[in-house]
Amino acid sequence: MLTASVLALVSRGGVYRARAATLCSTSESSSIDFGTEYHVPVLCAEAVSWLITNPAGTYVDGTLGGGGHSAALLQVLAPNGGHLIGVDRDPEALATAGARLVHHLETGHATLVRSNFGALAGALRTVRGPDAPLLDGMLLDLGVSSHQLNEPSRGFSFMRDGPLDMRMAQTATASGTDSNSSGDGGVRLDVRDAERARRAEPLTAATIVNQWDEKALADVLWKYGEERESRRIARSIVAARPLHSTAELVEVLKTAGTKNYEPKEVRNRLSRVFQALRIEVNQEMAELEAVLLAAARLVRPGGRLAVMSYHSLEDRRVKRLLRSGSFGDGTPPKDAYGNELAPWKPLTRQAITPSEAELEVNSRARSVRLRVGERTEHEPPPVLK
């Protein structure tokens, strides 16, 4: 159970900061262990305490995963008549979380929905109805779950040999959307994907690595991996074709740079390349922008948006969106009198990061950054990009 002091803080609403640090624990000795073999939720206490302002309200966990954050949120929401909608594009995640949250599903305090970010608004309309009230808050924990990283067949990790797949949902269609998503606001297709879309072939890492031309491959590595040696690496990959597994790709990457003698540089190169391929396969930046823009029309004034990002590409977009409502330079729009008109008010001056205690039990949390915004009365700007 949650501590009485934490429940009291949540029931009063407001900003709860690190006083709820004992809310979620990954230690075996704790009575509250929201971590599973599927995924250990990061910044769990912080997410709950910053997000919930109305314990009887309706909240969305847009990245359900193993259900860790949802389970923690429901510890507060369920006793107060609140409701949690858990969303994920991965059928495995929905099955795992469904088994974990079965009591809340049976009592009507939780609903699970399969959707990607781009289709989230339409999926919520389908589940809640067109006249449902606005949400009280939304949580997004971006990136790859521990389960996906640890499962070789998904191809996400350079530490394990597996197929060059990297799809978040392995039933995804060529457009990058999931086969049973609502289709509202789906992922945009890149022009170079037109032929593959015509043949209805799903985009995988193998497609990019083995079929895309050298320039297109280098562009992806630069754009989504911020890889300074993208051209050199792309040239090495093309020369080594065909590549059939993550292990084969790793061997190419180990000698594809100028500092192959530095183990740290090689590891960072592997991280950047695998990140870039994963982002392109799943259209993660387009998906992220779609859900961030939709959030201002889904969350009520006074409600909150909490986003956990794991690299600068994500964090930069979240930071600018919360400051200005768009993905430009982060400058909020103003009226003729100089009053800011942004749809969100950032609640944290700096991003919230994990404590040393959390990092000791979950080293994968090291790069996470949590930013929280509160919905204002202002409408989103008509031109968002």
pLDDT at 331: 85
| Fold entry, domain 4-146+285-375 | Rossmann fold (3.40.50)
Which pLDDT tens digit goes with each residue over 241-280? 999 999 999 999 999 999 888 999 999 999 999 999 999 9
189-282: which CATH architecture? Answer: Orthogonal Bundle (1.10)
Q: What's the pLDDT score for residue 176?
A: 44
pLDDT at 200: 58
Looking at residue 36, its pLDDT comes to 53
* pLDDT confidence of residue 21: 43
Cβ atoms 344, 373 nearer than 8 A: yes
Query: How far, in Å, CA of 70 to CA of 34, rounded?
Result: 9
Round the average pLDDT of the chain to a whole number and report it.
85
Residues in the chain with pLDDT < 70? 1-39, 171-200, 381-385
Structure tokens at 326: 């768009």
Collect contacts of 362-369 with beta carbons under 8 A, ≥24 apart.
Answer: 362/26, 362/35, 362/40, 362/42, 364/40, 364/42, 364/146, 364/149, 365/40, 365/42, 365/43, 367/310, 367/311, 368/42, 368/43, 368/308, 368/309, 368/310, 369/308, 369/309, 369/310, 369/315
Q: Residue 230 burial (CB < 10 Å; 0-12/13-18/19+)?
A: buried
Q: With b meaning 16 or more CB within 10 Å and e meaning fewer, what string describes 294-327?
A: bbbebbeeebbbbbbbbbebbbebbbbbbbbbbb
- Residue in the structure block whose two tokens are 């109305």: 54
Domain segments of the chain as ranges: 4-146+285-375, 189-282
Between strands 299-309 and 344-346, the pairing is unpaired
